[in-house]
Amino acid sequence: MGRGKIEIKRIENNTSRQVTFCKRRSGLLKKAYELSVLCEAEIALIVFSNRGRLYQFPQDNSIRETIERYKKKKIAEHTNGYLPEENKFEQFQQESKRLSQQIQMLQDSNRNLLGEGLEALNSRDMKHLESRLEKGLARIRNKKHEMILAEVEILRKRGIQLEHENAYIRSKIQESEKLQELSMMPAGPELSMMPAGPELSMMPAGPELNMMDTQGQDYGGFQAFLERNMLQLNIMEEGMASTYHLSGN
């Protein structure tokens, strides 16, 4: 529910009128300060209360220079923009002095942010400085928190990627080991004569298995050689027996 529209008219109650004046005067001075800093505007603000008390911005003597500049500007407008040379030179001097004062104010503000030159500040200035520091620290902490979260997210994604790469490498190693085991196993009919069950785990592996396969092949070839020689001997013996029988008759 929004605030109701306030009717702009004189406040009859003295206490309410004084409270409203204090609040709006502080807001007006604050806006003038912010406008001068943010936009580098030259501002002169003069306020008299109903009791005749003076409030002004800025607090130093630069307000007089701004008023003098205003007077000369108005005079120049009435004279169609014509200014004598001495007035132009004086105007340039005032502009240079104003810029120097602004630079000095910014330097003093930076020194105050570093905790230096606090002796010239009153309680209100100290409170305003503290508020600026707290807001700055809050922005810095928020930015730092965002950067940490971004780095954590990058590291998390990198960890997931490394896990996938490790799983892929392990699968390739297992496939390579299986292919190596299959390439070292004997092939052909001898494979059906190999013992099964627990005896298979007692079979030699590696180069010893290759040597057993070679020895088995050599033994089979030696048996075939003996069978061929025995067949030839039997044929020779039968031929000799037939010859002897024929010669005896």
Instruction: Say yes or no to pLDDT of 216 above 70.
Output: no
The pLDDT of 124-128, averaged and rounded, is 86
Q: How confident is the model at residue 169 (pLDDT cuts 50, 70, 90)?
A: very high
The model's pLDDT over 76-114, given as tens digits with 9 standing for 90+, comes to 766 665 555 666 677 788 888 888 888 988 888 888 888
Does residue 128 have a pLDDT over 70?
yes
Which amino acid belongs to residue 246? L
Pairing assessment for the beta strands 54-57 and 45-48 based on DSSP bridges:
antiparallel
Rounded to an integer, the average pLDDT of 190-213 is 46
pLDDT bucket at 224, cuts 50 / 70 / 90 = low
Q: What are phi and psi of 47, to 5 degrees?
A: -130, 130
pTM: 0.34
Q: What is the pLDDT of residue 113?
A: 82
How far apart, in whole angstroms, are the C-alpha atoms of residue 85 and residue 97? 18
Q: What percent of the chain has pLDDT over 70?
A: 67
Give the pLDDT score at 73. Answer: 79
pLDDT band (50, 70, 90) for residue 143: very high
Q: Average pLDDT, stretch 167-177?
A: 90
Query: What radius of gyration do the chain's Cα atoms show?
Result: 54
pLDDT in tens, 33-59: 899 888 888 889 989 988 888 888 888
Tokens at residue 108, please? 């003093």
At 118 the pLDDT is 83
The pLDDT value given to residue 231: 58
pLDDT class of 152 with cuts at 50, 70, 90: very high
- Which pLDDT score, from 0 to 100, does residue 247 have? 47
Which of 185-189, 212-216, 222-226 has the weakest average pLDDT? 212-216
pLDDT at 206: 46
